[in-house]
Structure 1
Amino acid sequence: MSLWGWILLASFVAYVTKFSGYLVPAHLLQNERMNYVAATLTIGLLASLTAMNAFSAGQTLALDARAGSLIVAAVALALRAPFLGVVIVGAVTAAALRAAGVAQ
Structure 2
Amino acid sequence: MSPTATWLAVVAASALVFGLKLLGHLVPEHWLAKPRVAQTAALVTVALLSALVAVQAATIGRELVADARLPALGVAAVALMLRAPFILVVVLAAATAAGLRALGMS
TM-score of the two chains, using structure 2 as the length reference: 0.84
Counterpart mapping for 1:33-44 below 5 A: 33-44=36-47
CA shift, 1:81, in A, is 4.4
| Deviation readout 1:10-55 (Å, 9 max, x if unpaired) | 1221121111112210101111111111111111111111111110
Residue identity matched to 1:69: A
Alignment partner, residue 29 of structure 1:
32
Alignment partner, residue 61 of structure 2:
58
Q: Distance in 2 between matches of 1:92 and 1:70?
A: 11
Alignment partner, residue 76 of structure 1:
79
Residue identity matched to 2:56: N
Percent identical pairs in the alignment equals: 40
Alignment partner, residue 49 of structure 1:
52
CA shift, 1:74, in A, is 2.5
Quick check: 1:92 aligned with 2:103? no
Q: Distance in 1 between matches of 2:78 and 2:40?
A: 28
Q: Which moved more, 1:25-34 or 1:3-12?
A: 3-12
Q: Distance in 2 between matches of 1:15 and 1:77?
A: 34
Count of aligned residue pairs for this structure pair: 102
Q: CA RMSD in A?
A: 1.7
Q: Distance in 1 between matches of 2:9 and 2:74?
A: 39
Q: Distance in 1 between matches of 2:24 and 2:71?
A: 40
CA shift, 1:59, in A, is 1.1
